[in-house]
């Protein structure tokens, strides 16, 4: 698992060689991939297929924390 701490307005684009789950621990976060772009609520998670770029953006006024949990190889 990897945790990402984002300051207000900060974005982080990345991908994993295995499937992963992205979940919001705190803050207001927009999740964007080539499949969708939407706000994620605290506690919500979205599955990201292996080798697919995705971006998390802190759209709030306080720091946000996002966890990426790596799963099985695909």
Structure confidence by residue, pLDDT tens digits, 23-47: 999 999 999 998 789 999 999 999 9
Tally of domains within the chain: 1
C-beta separation of 56 from 26 below 8 A: no
Q: Which of the four pLDDT bands, split at 50, 70 and 90, describes residue 72?
A: low
Q: What pLDDT, on a 0 to 100 scale, did the predictor assign at position 1? A: 81
CATH of the domain at 32: 2.60.120.10
Model confidence band, residue 2 (pLDDT cutoffs 50, 70, 90)? confident
Domain range for 39: 2-70
Percentage of the chain exceeding pLDDT 90: 66
Q: Closest Cα partner for 32 from 15, 19, 18, 17?
A: 15
Q: What is the pTM of this model?
A: 0.87
Query: In whole angstroms, what is the distance from residue 30 CA to residue 61 CA?
Result: 13
């Amino acid at each position: 698992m990897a945790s990402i701490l984002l300051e207000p307005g900060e974005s982080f684009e990345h991908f994993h060689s295995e499937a992963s789950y992205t979940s919001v621990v705190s803050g207001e976060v927009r999740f964007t991939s080539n499949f969708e772009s939407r706000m994620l609520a605290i506690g919500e998670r979205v599955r990201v297929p292996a080798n697919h770029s995705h971006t998390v953006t802190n759209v709030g006024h306080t720091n946000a924390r996002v966890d990426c949990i790596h799963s099985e190889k695909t």
